[in-house]
Chain A
Amino acid sequence: MQTMTSLAFLYVILPAAMAFFLLCPPVWRQGALLAVSLGFFLMVQPSTFPLLLACLATDRLILALIYRYDHSEALRKGCVAASVIKNLLVMLVMEALFQMNRLVEAPWGLRIYALSSLSCVLEAYRGQIPRERSTLSYLLYCSFFPRLEAGPLLPYRDFAPQLEYLNPTLTEIGAGFGVYLQGAVKAGVLGQSLQVTYDALRAFPPEDVTVAGTWCTVLILALAVYYRLSGLSEMARGVGQMMGISLPKNFYFPYQSQGVTDFFQRFNISVSAFIRNNVYRPLQTEEDSVFADCLNLILWGVLMGLWFGLRINYMLWGAYLALFLILEKHVFSHMEDKIPPLFMRIYTLCVILSSFTIFGGASPRASAATIASMFSFQRLELYNDRLVYLLSSNWLLLVVSLLFATSAVSLVMSFLRRILPRFSALLTTAVNAALLVMFTIFTIRVG
């Protein structure tokens, strides 16, 4: 389902939503934004609209109960437990139904609105948000439409205060549109093209599988996941900015991390932070043994994997990365400063790339076969014509994807902004205009 990466969104839905939002007086804009968000949901997937309403209504009720029974810790805990169980159960059941082909399409935005409403309940329980917050802002927080596709997640306490004065300037709207376009090209052009290349590599018949081909498959999957998710998050950030709402960055050049711990702070940042704040830290105690912490870290990793769906391989992917978190925290922590950054980057890249053999596999056995293929120099050819053809057909895509996965271009732009601010502003406008054309050209259905 293409929602924000569609021509309909760019040329009709987004301008219409912005016009409606801006035409409303600032005091009505919260309501206008909620109407737009719910309308957008109805437009994308009307069949699960009742699920959204039911989910949000239940947690709103739980919130009210938490406030009402603030004198009884047991009742408050019961409310939180009910919300946790309800949200996990809904996500689990819907995902299972989808995997069993009982649902035509996966419930849109379920993970975001379920975890957002849960986050709201948890924050209320911890007293991190004042009582007087309105139902309107709660509903908008959970259903804010740009976030529903892939996040980012953020605490209610960071979101709600921004709703009090929604009056973006044209400058903010323009800057936000630029961010949206960058995200659209990342997700809709690069991410989509990488996904097609990945699918083509996966479709190689067994006799055409080569060692280099397997390595390329893993590399391209890692890039496709990054561009798809980071692009969608940036689009959400851009649209948010256009409406005067600041959303956090969700990806920050994860493949140049120095260590897996660093990777968790750069890849799907908001989900990682959500798990850290709501699972890892609450389960952590002062007297924790190393063993208990290790289990806790593994749980963190597994939950990071479950974010992508209910599959054994996703859980194993997270658990595999968690093993390196454990090593970095409990075994090599004292050596951190002594290891050269370049070595750390190479080590991290190897760990992350190898983790995508697990991520991309249909089953643990399939992943094991992939890993075996990566080193089967005796059994398999190093490369063949089919691989050379596919790579040569996509050389520009691969070069651009690799380049923009690093911070090189971002550093050059920062440098230009510092020494040639006017030129850099002009360049940014030109680049954004080019991105608009590029996105349109690559989104048009050809043939």
Chain B
Amino acid sequence: MKRISSVLLGAALLLLPFFLLGAGGGDSLPLSSALWMGSGRLTSYLEGYLNLHLPWVDQMAQWNLSIRAFGGQREYNQVFICGDELIRDIDPPVEYSLRENAASILEFAERGSIPTYCMIVPTASAIRQQSLPPFTQTQMVNQKQIIEDVYSEMVGRVTVADTYPVLFNARDQYLYYRTEDNLTSLGGFYLYTVLGPKLLEGVARPSLADYDIEFVKNDFYGSLYQKSPYKDARADSLAIFRYTKNPRQYLVKKDQDGALKTYHTLYPLHMLDLSREMDVFLGGLSAITTIEANSPYRASLLVFGDKTALAYLPFLVNHYSTVTLVDLFQLSSQGYDSLSLLDYDQVLFGYSIETFMHYNIPSRANRLLDTLDD
């Protein structure tokens, strides 16, 4: 019996590569210069190849997480596994970035002489903290405190929109995607309820009744699921909110992959067919996105923001003739040249707290102050 089991195992070893080939693993066997042993790249090349082509690789990734979860692990790749939802863990703040971003927005407001607004959006790990695994709360970044500290520095010089209380009070609603690191459209609506009255004087209290809600996809698994494919994570629904009270025509223009793209809708649904589900909202984030609406309002708004803007801008655009969303992370030198602050009536810095704490991106906006001097 021992002999038979050893023979089986020995044969298994020799047959493993044939099994891989037979299971479709040989479809794109690497036949490049990496095959040259002396290049030193062969092992890493093979490793990468096997990670993509091993049979049942997705299943095995799920088993990996299931075993880890059984063994008590509730966090993988900086993603918390919280029942059927995934919540991204965020790193402690980088003090320098935090100070630099706050100071530069203040400088922008002072030198720019344009009404300037700031909104720092908390992440799901703060708002949905009751879902986090036990014993994690004390080690989480105190986002509320950080936001309050930044706002207290700005008070009187920049108009701030404190969204934390509103989101926290509605925390049991579907504000954040379960498998994607962003706010849902409903979350975006709640941001709009805070932001609207700050930006727009005399605006009527926003109501969900003014919108038609359409669920365009109900089996969406986002980037958090790619990082941590836990089998019990529940798929997300992508909802789009159409303003029905006073319907508008929209023109969305964006520089995407070096080409100018235009959409006559806020929600280019064809992105669903391209497996770019999150780009259904304004076509996704690009260096400059300009949204024009045939609204009765003449004001224009410049938004420096990150992907959170995709959640709340569809609501805000109804109150402006033009809204320009600038992703300073992607903005090139030519992009800076194409923008002029003189074209705008208001400027909003709207960032996720994660961007605000870790990257000196908002501070890049100050390069545009030169356009005022010109």
**Structural contact, B13 and A395, CB atoms closer than 8 A:** no
Inter-chain contact B60/A444, CB cutoff 8 Å: yes
- Report if A65 contacts B (CB, 8 A): no
Known: A11-B17, A441-B64. A447 touches B229 (CB 8 A): yes
Of the four ranges (under 10, 10 to 19, 20 to 34, 35 or more), the interface on chain A belongs to: 35 or more
Q: Of B37-45, B141-149, B291-299, B300-308, which stretch is located at the interface?
A: B37-45
Interface residues of A in 376-418 (CB under 8 A from B): 384-386, 388-389, 392-397
**Smallest beta-carbon distance A423→chain B, Å:** 9
Query: Does residue A42 face the partner (Cβ distance < 8 Å to B)?
Result: yes
Contact stretch, chosen from A153-161, A172-180, A341-349: A172-180
- Interface class of chain B by DSSP: helix
Residues B58-86 near A (CB distance < 8 A): 60-61, 63-65, 67, 70-77, 79
Q: A15-B14, A385-B135 are in contact. Are A170 and B6 (CB under 8 A)?
A: yes
Point out the residue from B5, B11, B50, B133 that lies within 8 Å of A11, measured CB to CB.
B50
Kindly list chain B residues whose C-beta atoms are within 8 Å of the C-beta of A8: 43, 46-47, 50
Closest to A429 in B: B5
**Of residues A18, A397, A426, A444, which shows the largest number of chain B Cβ atoms within 10 Å of its Cβ?**
A444
Q: Are B6's CB and A12's CB within 8 A?
A: no
A99 within 8 A of B: no
A contact residues around B47 at 8 Å (CB): 2, 6-8
Which residue of A6, A171, A395, A442 contacts B43 across the interface (Cβ within 8 Å)? A6
Min CB distance B117 to A, Å, is 34
CA of A384 to CA of B135, assembled, Å: 9
Q: A6-B43, A12-B50, A386-B135 are in contact. Are A171 and B7 (CB under 8 A)?
A: yes
How far apart sit A428 and B5, CA to CA, in the bound complex (Å)?
8
Docked-complex contact B51 and A444, CB < 8 angstroms? yes
CB < 8 Å: which of B6, B79, B134 contacts A175?
B6
Establish whether residues B7 and A174, one from each chain, have CB atoms under 8 Å apart when the complex forms: yes
Q: A12-B17, A385-B139, A396-B70 are in contact. Are A3 and B43 (CB under 8 A)?
A: yes
Question: Is A393 in contact with B73, judged by CB distance below 8 angstroms?
Answer: yes
Do B37 and A39 touch (CB < 8 A)? yes
- Residues from chain A with a CB closer than 8 A to the CB of B70 are 396
B5–A446 touching, CB < 8 Å: no
- Tally of A-B Cβ pairs under 8 angstroms: 166
A278 interfacial by beta-carbon distance below 8 Å? no
With A8-B47, A12-B46, A178-B6 given, is the CB distance from A170 to B11 under 8 Å? yes
Contact (Cβ within 8 A) A46 B54:
no
- Contact, CB under 8 Å: A425 / B13: no
B3 on the A face (CB < 8 A)? yes
Q: Does B9 contact A (CB under 8 A)?
A: yes
Q: Does B8 belong to the interface (CB within 8 Å)?
A: yes
Give the nearest-CB partner of B48 in chain A. A445
Considering only CB atoms and an 8 Å cut-off, how many residues of chain B contact the other chain? 55
Known pairs A6-B43, A46-B38, A421-B1; A170 contacts B72 (CB<8 A) = no
Q: Is the CB of A46 within 8 A of B17?
A: no
A389 touches B136 (CB 8 A): yes
Q: In the complex, are the beta carbons of B60 and A174 less than 8 A apart?
A: no
B10 within 8 A of A: yes
Do A18 and B5 touch (CB < 8 A)? no
Contact B17 A174 (CB under 8 A): no
B342 adjacent to chain A (CB < 8 Å):
no
- A128: CB under 8 A from chain B? no
Which of A15, A208, A385, A392 has a CB less than 8 Å from the CB of B13?
Answer: A15
**Residues on A close to B: CB < 8 A?**
2-3, 6-16, 18-19, 39, 42-47, 49, 170-175, 177-178, 208, 242, 384-386, 388-389, 392-397, 421-422, 425-426, 428-429, 432-433, 436, 440-442, 444-447
In the complex, besides A7-B54, A397-B71, A446-B77, 14 extra interface pairs with C-beta distance below 8 angstroms are A2-B47, A8-B43, A15-B16, A44-B43, A46-B39, A49-B38, A385-B135, A389-B136, A392-B72, A396-B71, A396-B72, A425-B5, A446-B64, A446-B76
| CB pairs A–B below 8 angstroms (26 shown) | A6-B47, A11-B20, A11-B50, A15-B14, A46-B39, A49-B38, A170-B10, A173-B14, A174-B5, A174-B13, A175-B9, A177-B9, A242-B10, A389-B134, A389-B135, A392-B134, A393-B73, A394-B72, A396-B72, A425-B5, A433-B9, A444-B51, A446-B76, A446-B228, A446-B229, A447-B77
